[in-house]
Amino acid sequence: MEQQMLKDKVAIITGASYGMGRTMAELFAEEGAAVVITARGKEKLDAVVEGIRERGGKAVGIVADVCSTEDTKRVFETALKEFGDVDILINNAGIGEQKIIDETDDDWMMYVMNTNLGGPIRYIREALKIFLPKNDGVIINVSSVNGTRPFCGAAYTSTKGALNTLTKNVAIRLIDTNIRCNAVAPGATVTPAHLTNKAGEQPGGAEMLKYSGHFVYFPGPECDPMDQAYACLYLASKMGCHVKGQVLQVCNGAFL
């Protein structure tokens, strides 16, 4: 049997009930990590946990909203109670949307910002309470190619650009520690959210694509969720031990 790359590690992964987050959780569990996964929907979350446990992995699911400071604290408390430590944090939860700036009202703007940027800030802040005393830990933010090529909704793209900046800011703050912070920036990846977006069914519909379509290489080649999970595994394992403050774009060359 090959040596597991994350043996005895504990990973918190937000937004892990489907899509990329689910694939990350399943891969990390196969590589020996105990995974603490969150989502707002209990049914899909429970199914992921059950599947991991059936394959011999360790997993706990927590219904939690990344917009809630109380929920965030509860996730870390549960991880410590169940597994005794936290070693890896993946900020994957987020909202995809296609609202053009003309239709982005204050309530929607704040909702997207609070989820896509506020969530990672809350989770990183809480993780550092564990990582700093032991001088060890890994933080991975799931950004998007939209962080540098902003063709989706105005609020969404702004939060992904901000998340890239946050990644570097946190890495700079931690530069003299053994804690590393990086980001993975997926391109078009075949997930339920991506398929909904292609169908013009995300909030805002397809209006923005009328303007951004010629910047977007939607015909392919599209990535698989496992491509993004492998990138996270690289950053979380010893393979990425000297990688800090980087945004690793995984897009099969479609968004160069």
User: Does residue 31 form part of some domain?
Assistant: yes
Quote the CA–CA distance of 245 and 228 in Å, as a whole number. Answer: 17
Phi, then psi, of 250 in degrees rounded to 5: -120, 95
pLDDT given for residue 218 in this prediction: 63
Residue 112: give its domain's CATH number. 3.40.50.720
pLDDT given for residue 206 in this prediction: 85
User: Does residue 256 form part of some domain?
Assistant: no
pLDDT given for residue 159 in this prediction: 98
pLDDT given for residue 196 in this prediction: 86
User: Does residue 255 form part of some domain?
Assistant: no
User: Does residue 117 form part of some domain?
Assistant: yes
Catalytic site residue 156? yes
Domain count, the chain: 1
User: Does residue 3 form part of some domain?
Assistant: no
pLDDT given for residue 212 in this prediction: 82
User: Does residue 1 form part of some domain?
Assistant: no
pLDDT given for residue 219 in this prediction: 63
Q: Which amino acid is at 19?
A: G
| Contact indicator for 191, 222 with CB cutoff of 8 Å | no
Q: What count of other Cβ atoms lies within 10 Å of the Cβ of residue 54?
A: 8
In a structure prediction context, what are the per-residue pLDDT tens digits for the chain, which is 256 residues long? 578 999 999 999 999 999 999 999 999 999 999 999 999 999 999 999 999 999 999 999 999 999 999 999 999 999 999 999 999 999 999 999 999 999 999 999 999 999 999 999 999 999 999 999 999 999 999 999 999 999 999 999 999 999 999 999 999 999 999 999 999 999 989 898 888 887 888 899 988 888 887 777 666 679 999 999 999 999 999 999 999 999 999 999 988 8
User: Does residue 232 form part of some domain?
Assistant: yes
Quote the CA–CA distance of 162 and 147 in Å, as a whole number. Answer: 7
Active-site entry in 18, 111, 123, 156: 156
Task: List pLDDT tens digits, range 103-158.
Answer: 999 999 999 999 999 999 999 999 999 999 999 999 999 999 999 999 999 999 99
**CB-based contacts of 156-165 (< 8 A; 24+ apart in sequence):** 156/95, 156/96, 156/97, 156/98, 156/112, 156/116, 158/113, 159/94, 159/112, 159/113, 159/115, 159/116, 159/117, 160/116, 160/185, 162/117, 163/116, 163/117, 163/120, 164/247
Beta strands in 19-136 (DSSP E): 34-39, 58-63, 88-91
Parent domain of 113: 10-240
pLDDT given for residue 209 in this prediction: 82
Which is nearest to 237 in space by CA: 172, 168, 180, 176? 180
